[in-house]
Amino acid sequence: MTALPKGYREVRRVDLMRNRKEAILVNLLALVIAGVAIALGFVLCPPFLEVKIGIPTIFGMVFMVIGIVVYMILHEIIHGVFMKAFSGLKPHYGFTGLYAYAGSDALFNRKQYLIIAFAPVVILGIILAVLIAAFYETAFWSLYLIQVVNLSGAAGDFYVGYLIARYGNDVLVCDTGTDMAVYSILQ
């Protein structure tokens, strides 16, 4: 659905590109999530005190950087797959310089949008957790730092999910990728 049904009005807009206060809030949330996750990583697998620079270390760093880039692409593709599944419309993708995004001109109901918002962090989080467990001895920190990016990079998704979850079941959401409008029935 792309046309707003009769009786609906905009009740909230989230635009992290223009609303500096919300952008700062989301970025602070991302930093807190990353800090907590990294601290947990030190508990799960304390790093070795001796730093060895060599081919395996360099390979691990390159693997981690490539993994983060691939993760970011997959994260947005997953948003887009769910947007298309719920609306039938082809999503659009982009990068603002600060954020990668998937967007759609469709309207999504509350349940659909919550699935769209949380699907990437859940799906990729489970895959990364399995990989971290499987390669604990050889690649814990390379994989775990990708998981940290997964969790902290989803701060915007957590934020909008929290906002949408506070509304009733009548809400409709249009997420163009760079901003999001929430609509509700006039009271």
pLDDT by 10s per residue, the chain, length 187: 778 888 889 999 998 888 889 888 988 999 999 999 989 988 888 776 555 677 777 777 787 788 888 888 899 999 999 999 999 999 999 988 777 889 999 999 999 999 999 999 999 999 999 999 998 877 788 888 889 999 998 998 999 999 999 988 999 999 988 889 999 986 5
> Is 175 strand, coil or helix?
strand
90-94 contact pairs (CB < 8 A, 24+):
92/177, 93/177, 94/177, 94/178
State residue 59's pLDDT score. Answer: 78
Rounded CA separation 86/38 (Å): 35
Domain ranges of the chain: 1-42+92-187
Residue 154's nearest CA partner among 92, 70, 72 is 72
- pTM of this structure: 0.86
Contact predicate 117/78, CB 8 Å:
no
State residue 4's pLDDT score. Answer: 84
**Torsion from C-alpha of 160, 161, 165, 170, nearest 10 degrees:** 70
Residue 168's nearest CA partner among 109, 112, 117, 106 is 109
